[in-house]
Structure 1
Amino acid sequence: MHEVVFAGGWISTGTGIGNDIKGLIFGVGIPVLCGLFVLVVGWKTKAPGPTIMAVIMAAIVWGLSANMDALKDKATDDITHYDNTSTVQKGDR
């Protein structure tokens, strides 16, 4: 019997498209949406306070999305640390 991989080319094509779309979302989509958010809030409110808060919120979203790899490693480290610690603390008896 021969081993046959069905849709082998389609799998690699789908993976390539997925990576390209991910790069497009994080590299272009999120920054554009953050800028659009700031512009809409500034246009609708015409006040500096809400616009400044919109800039801060957009910067947080953009910054967190740009550092997903570092955040992923941090979350894994926190989970590993939590799994290796005892749940009973001194004075918990």
Structure 2
Amino acid sequence: MHTMVLAAGWISTGRGLGGDIRDLIFNVGIPVLCGLFVLVVGWKTRAPGPTIVACILAAVVWGLAAHMDTLKDKATEDITHYDTVQRGDR
């Protein structure tokens, strides 16, 4: 079995930035970009349907970014479970 580290460069870059910059990105940058996305979609389309969908997509992105630690642990559990099942089936 080969060990592969996914997104190794991004992980080391995130660690190198430090906690303050990371908190600023996740607590200010992502919410501002999500709000900007909804405003641009609403302005360009001037229709309620696409604007509502943009709100939902922005909420999903914002929610996933806010719960990154939980998602990291869940992804690790899923990968470990998948590796165990694959080895057991062979």
Scaled to the shorter chain, the TM-score interval is 0.7 to 0.9
Number of equivalences? 74
* Matches of 2:65 and 2:51, distance apart in 1: 21
* Matches of 2:49 and 2:77, distance apart in 1: 38
Give the greater-gyration-radius structure (CA): 1
Corresponding position: 1:87 with 2:67: no
Q: What root-mean-square deviation, in Å, do the aligned CA atoms of Structure 1 and Structure 2 show?
A: 1.6
4+ long deviations beyond 4 Å: none
Q: Per-residue displacement from partner, 1:28-68 (whole Å, max 9, x unpaired)?
A: 00000000000011011110011000000000000000010
Shift of 1:87: 2.8
Shift of 1:76: 0.6
What's the % identity of the aligned pairs?
Answer: 72
Give TM-score scaled by structure 2 length: 0.76
Secondary structure of the residue that 1:24 maps to in structure 2? helix
User: Residue in 2 aligned with 1:67?
Assistant: 67
1:1-93 mapped onto 2 (5 Å cutoff): 18-85=18-85, 86-88=88-90
1:83 aligned partner, one-letter code: D
- Segments of 5+ residues of structure 1 without an aligned counterpart are 1-13, 89-93
